[in-house]
Amino acid sequence: MKGEIINYNKSKIHVGLDIGNSKIACLIGQSVDNNNIQIKVLGFGQHISMGLNKGEVIDLHKLSNAISKAVEKAEEMAGLRISNITCNITGGLPFTKITCDNIEITNDIIKKEDVLNLLNLDKYKSKYEDYIQIRRKPKAFKIDYGQEVGNPIGLKSKTLTLEAINTYVNKNVISNLNKSIELCHLTVNQFYITPEINGISTMIKEERDLGAIIIDIGASLTSIGIYLKDSLIYSSFIKIGGIHITSDLVKGLGTESEEAEKLKILHGSTEVNQLDNFKNIDVNLINEKGELTSQNFPKSMLIGIIKPRVEELFELVIQNLKNSYPDYTKISKVIITGGTSNLNGISNIAKSYFNCNIRIGKPIGLLNAPDLLQSPSFSCLTGLVLKSSREQNNKWLYSFFKKLREYFFN
């Protein structure tokens, strides 16, 4: 790292590493005194993603090299070296599921050990043998006759039931991702799935409390999450994203991937107006002789290629929710984020499927941030830093059982 090393209070430094399928991005932030909803940006860096396919590592060294370059740029801007990070995970189709477990209580008085035993109970371990549980958060405790209680310790009951919110990730995916990061001499404090993090960076607490669906349309994956009572209660991933729109443009126009991506960013839209039939776009393409040439296409043709793929994406999201969380229809707000959410008119397409309030989710809570970071493309990156800061400000330890002991027994 070049440049002068600046001395910071290390306890206030938080680093997010967003490992995506199109880019690797690193953000170094500093928590603000007496403020757990904002973070001061110190350093930012990004690099094209390599060695990754649909969130899964296919080349350790290529991915490690890309991570190193993104981190080095952030370090140089911040004037400090980092060793610990908070990271996202998207590969292997991670998911969040609510489970219900119960135990019988000896002598009908609930003890600390009963609560811990129930919290540690994982009846679904054999069902999801290729996955590991990275998060288990109590949703509700219930005693006899289904009565919901806050803290069950000391209460009289023959049984104790726990509704818990569980997050599972693929064992091999998280292991390979961790190895790639370790090659950069970095340590992961915590992994988070994208929907959980996006809820932190794009929503205010009232939205997370009342209920909202968060949809992140990434390069090759789209994540779906549902927040209610300030907790992520459902999440899933589907294998479709912005890269599929780019691929459609390549096939439909006969151009190269780089040109198609540029067209999507500069002229991409899902809405046609009367002028689009007369507005021509200059496209570089390969002719029958294999030569690079230029040709004009009406913008309406571009939209005609993009719109069906966007509609397919939302159809798959709706089908996913219908199959796994039918109560999604009770949610009155949908937030769309990720790079593809920059497409003009995408909110209106979403509204035709959800029939509720739709908005584009941009990062909130950043101070001194460059304009680039205000884009939906960096919602996950921002959320990783905000989450790390809030965890520390709340004096919650990363260890799951230590957090629970603090919650119940202090």
Task: Quote the pLDDT of residue 7.
Answer: 58
Task: Quote the pLDDT of residue 286.
Answer: 75
Closest CA to 177 of 164, 165, 162, 187: 187
CB 23 within 8 Å of CB 48: yes
**391 — pLDDT class (breaks 50, 70, 90):** confident
Mean pLDDT of the residues in the chain: 90
Q: CA 37: distance to chain centroid?
A: 18
Higher-pLDDT residue of 397 and 207 is: 207
Task: Quote the pLDDT of residue 401.
Answer: 47
Q: Looking at residues 322-338, what average pLDDT do you find?
A: 95
Q: Looking at residues 211-223, what average pLDDT do you find?
A: 96
Q: CA 33: distance to chain centroid?
A: 26
Q: The pTM is what?
A: 0.89
**5 — pLDDT class (breaks 50, 70, 90):** low
Task: Quote the pLDDT of residue 33.
Answer: 75
Higher-pLDDT residue of 120 and 14 is: 14
Task: Quote the pLDDT of residue 397.
Answer: 42
Q: Looking at residues 117-146, what average pLDDT do you find?
A: 86
**CATH for the 95-169+399-409 domain, from 3.20.20.70, 3.50.50.60, 2.60.40.1930, 3.30.1490.110:** 3.30.1490.110
User: CA 96, CA 99: separation in Å to the nearest integer?
Assistant: 10
Task: Quote the pLDDT of residue 32.
Answer: 84
Instruction: Put residue 285 in one of left, alpha, beta given phi > 0 → left and psi -120 to 50 → alpha.
Output: beta
Higher-pLDDT residue of 285 and 313 is: 313
**283-320: burial string, b at 16+ Cβ within 10 Å, e else:** bbbeeeeeeeeeeebbbbbbbebbbebbeebbeebbeb
Per DSSP, the three-state class of 217 is strand
Domains of the chain: which residue ranges? 95-169+399-409, 242-305
Reported CATH class of domain 242-305: alpha beta
Judge whether 95-169+399-409 and 242-305 match in fold.
no
Q: Taking the CA atoms of the chain, what radius of gyration do you get in angstroms?
A: 23
**205-230: burial string, b at 16+ Cβ within 10 Å, e else:** eebbeebbbbbbbbbbbbbbbbbbee
**38-60: burial string, b at 16+ Cβ within 10 Å, e else:** ebbbbbbbbbebbbbebbbbeee
Closest CA to 159 of 106, 117, 100, 98: 106
Percent of the chain with pLDDT over 90: 73
* Residue 59, pLDDT above cutoff 70: yes
* Residue 270, pLDDT above cutoff 90: yes
DSSP 346-366: HHHHHHHHH-SEEEE----SE
